[in-house]
Amino acid sequence: MSPLSLNSITEKELVALCLKGDRISCKQLFELHSGKMMALCYRFARDKNEAEDILQEGFIRIFNKLDLYSGEGVLEAWMRRVMINTALKYKQKNVTKHNYSDIDDKHVFDPTPTIIEEMSKDEILRLVQNLPDGYRTVFNMYVIEGYSHKEIADSLGIGESTSRSQLVKARTLLKTQLLNLIRLAG
Amino acid sequence: MKNFDEKIRDKLFNAEMPVSSGLWDAIEQNLDRKDKRPKVWFLLMSLLIGLPLLFFAYYYPISVDSKEKPSLENTDDKYFAENSVLSDRFENFVDTENLVSDNSMKLNQTLSIEKIPSLSYNSIGSFKNSPQNLSFQIASGNKQRKLTPFTQIGLAGLNKEIIFQLNQEEDILLFPRLFNSGNDCPDFKRKWPGLYLYSQLGSYYPFQSLSSDGSEMSSLISERDLTESGVPSFSFETGLGYDFYNGLFVQTGISYNQINIKFYHRQEDIINNITSIIIDTLFNPQGEVVSINKDTSVYQEIGVQELTVNNSFKMLDIPISVGYSYPLTDKIHLRASAGLIFNMRTRSRGYMVDSNGEPYEYGRNDNDLFKTKWGLSYSGALDLETIINDKFSFNAGLNMRYFSKNINVSTNAVDQRFFNLGIVAGVKYRI
């Protein structure tokens, strides 16, 4: 759903109405962003149920802290940050421990990037979803959300080198999975 | 590698997924629940008001102990004589009026006046270990002529007293000395014996803490932590207070606080262009100008640029505190207090770095970074009070203030809080 297709009201005006406690506007804001945020949460979660739990917590947080949104910059970017923080906190609470092993990668395989272009979003999402929890978190934060290794290390309480090695492992695993797909396709 | 990452990012960054239909309802319910949560400040206020009341209730049980009479030695015999005379006169008065039988109960009540001294009016709840000789007294009876029952409750100590009289209709004729225990008796003419004026000056060190909701501001926070540091700040407070008999005291007034933060920014490798103009004038032996050569050159000087500014937060507050004063000796009391400070107005001005590490000024003409009202903060103090004479005393000790709330407006993404710790000295004048 495009932000402008909802109605003539701008996103800024919608935020202002939400801050005044207008629940209809809150619902509109939720509907405007819930699709993208759900996909984001799903990438961090184990399954759809967990993703919806994170999404719910994240939106409650967003509405409670909406007054902290400066109005400068894109609202979606701010929401993504809040949602990622919520996902990380959720996982800290609900998962015993991620395996952030500091292992050097032995080989890096580089499949043809055109394979990715030919794949649908859902197929790639499924591949990412198959990554182990720790790898997936680092991969999502670095590759999709654009966090630096320092920021990832700060957020997850791990070393920067661990973040780097997890990323390499995640890439390697993804590429291995892609290779297997190519082989299966013949 | 970048190609691989970018392609996956392109596919997934804007991907959308459907959401269950009932999810919004669940979110909305939680938003409602949040609105109904009681405010922290309300709970704290309730505690501040409730705890002293509990203290009173615990230490002043209303009970009559007719055996203990620690101050009766101070009571002169004349008192009993006066009471018995009055009682006799009253009995005569009743007789002469020929009261009918339904007044007999009132008569009995009136006769109990004689028993009032035996109530040991100065003994109930007596604190022997306290230099203030605190006591709680209760009495009841009928007035001399009108047979009007009344109840009088008093709390007395050295030169201090609180008297409550229930169902009072006119001045008491019979009982002004009921609470009188001799030379140490309180003066009933003073209504607010514990009232005092106070002023105090404080110097403290502000500890500033910066935080952010997400990790995106971590580099800016690190930069600000490097460039901003607390320096000695000060406060002045004046107002009214009240000392209760049990050692509790309350005080409120108005205060001015100034938090000072030193901003220091150093920029390396600043290139400064220096223009040099050399003028050569050639004279002949007669002193006439033969030629003028002007040579202009520009060279660069590399150095550092330092900026040191005192950032200030000037606040006008209303403090309210409740405390307890423990007498270490007759002249020296140890006092501990806690309270709330309501910020009425704050003006902020200074320098800070932006996300690029560049310094910029705020607050000269307008302030879009900090709130002008910081709301509620919490205070605590521990000091020694030295009593100079009946009127004056001095105090000095430790003082703290904590701002639990973020002082920023929403346009400023970095949360900022203060914890002030310092010393305070003041003077107290009993009215």
Domain boundaries, chain A: 11-94, 113-185
Query: In angstroms, what CA-CA distances link B376 with A98, B345, B373, B409?
Result: 41, 12, 9, 15
**Count of CB atoms situated within 10 Å of the CB of B262:** 15
Q: Distance from A8 to chain B by nearest Cα, in Å?
A: 22
pLDDT tens digits along B251-298? 999 999 999 999 998 877 777 777 778 888 888 888 888 888 878 877
User: Is residue B348 scored above 80 in pLDDT?
Assistant: yes
Partner-chain residue, chosen from B7, B14, B34, that has the shortest CB–CB distance to A117: B7
Please report residues of B whose CB lies closer than 8 A to that of A69.
410
Please report residues of B whose CB lies closer than 8 A to that of A31.
24
Q: If you average pLDDT over residues A132-149, what whole number do you get?
A: 89
Query: In angstroms, what CA-CA distances link B417 with A163, B9, B153, B346, B362?
Result: 31, 38, 48, 14, 18
DSSP type of residue B38: P
Spatial distance between the Cα atoms of A145 and A135, rounded to a whole number of angstroms:
14
With residue B40 as reference, give the H or E element that holds it: helix B40-59
Q: Which residues share a beta bridge with B370?
A: B408
CB-based contact A82 B4, cutoff 8 Å: no
Show the domains of chain B with their CATH numbers: 65-166 (no CATH), 195-267+308-430 (2.40.160.20)
Per-residue pLDDT at B399: 93
* CATH no. of A113-185: 1.10.10.10
Spatial distance between the Cα atoms of B179 and B187, rounded to a whole number of angstroms:
10
CB-based contact B12 A64, cutoff 8 Å: no
3-state secondary structure (DSSP) of residue B245: coil
Per-residue pLDDT at B186: 44
User: Is residue B243 scored above 60 in pLDDT?
Assistant: yes
Cβ–Cβ under 8 Å, residues A123 and A158: no
Confidence band of B365 (pLDDT split at 50, 70, 90): low
Residues B385/B387/B391/B392 CA torsion (nearest 10 deg): -60
Structure tokens at A138: 């680092």
Spatial distance between the Cα atoms of B174 and B326, rounded to a whole number of angstroms:
36
In chain B, which residue's Cα lies nearest the Cα of A142? B5
Residues A41/A45/A48/A49 CA torsion (nearest 10 deg): -100
Q: Supply the angle between the helices A160-185 and A121-129 in degrees, to the nearest 10.
A: 130
Residues of B with a Cβ under 8 Å from any A Cβ are 1, 3-5, 7-9, 11-20, 23-24, 26-28, 30-31, 34, 213-216, 218, 410-413
The full length of chain A comes to 186
Spatial distance between the Cα atoms of A122 and B43, rounded to a whole number of angstroms:
51
Alpha helix (H) residue ranges in chain A: 11-19, 23-44, 48-64, 75-94, 113-118, 121-129, 133-139, 149-156, 160-185
pLDDT tens digits along B158-206? 444 555 544 444 444 334 434 444 444 444 445 677 899 999 999 999 9
The answer to whether the Cα torsion of B184, B188, B194, B195 is positive or negative is negative
- Which one-letter amino acid corresponds to residue B136? F
Q: If you average pLDDT over residues A82-104, what whole number do you get?
A: 67
Cβ–Cβ under 8 Å, residues B365 and B347: no
pLDDT tens digits along B412-426? 778 888 999 999 999
Spatial distance between the Cα atoms of A68 and B410, rounded to a whole number of angstroms:
5
Structure tokens at B131: 């230099």
Q: Distance from A13 to chain B by nearest Cα, in Å?
A: 16
The residue to which tokens 């230490």 are assigned: B59
Please report residues of B whose CB lies closer than 8 A to that of A116.
4, 7-8, 11
Partner-chain residue, chosen from B8, B17, B30, that has the shortest CB–CB distance to A60: B30
Pairing of strands B332-353, B375-387: antiparallel
CB-based contact B215 A144, cutoff 8 Å: no
* CATH no. of A11-94: 1.10.1740.10
Spatial distance between the Cα atoms of A62 and A78, rounded to a whole number of angstroms:
9
Spatial distance between the Cα atoms of A24 and B239, rounded to a whole number of angstroms:
49
From the candidates A19, A34, A120, A172, which should be mutated to test the interface with B, based on the most B CB atoms within 10 A? Answer: A34
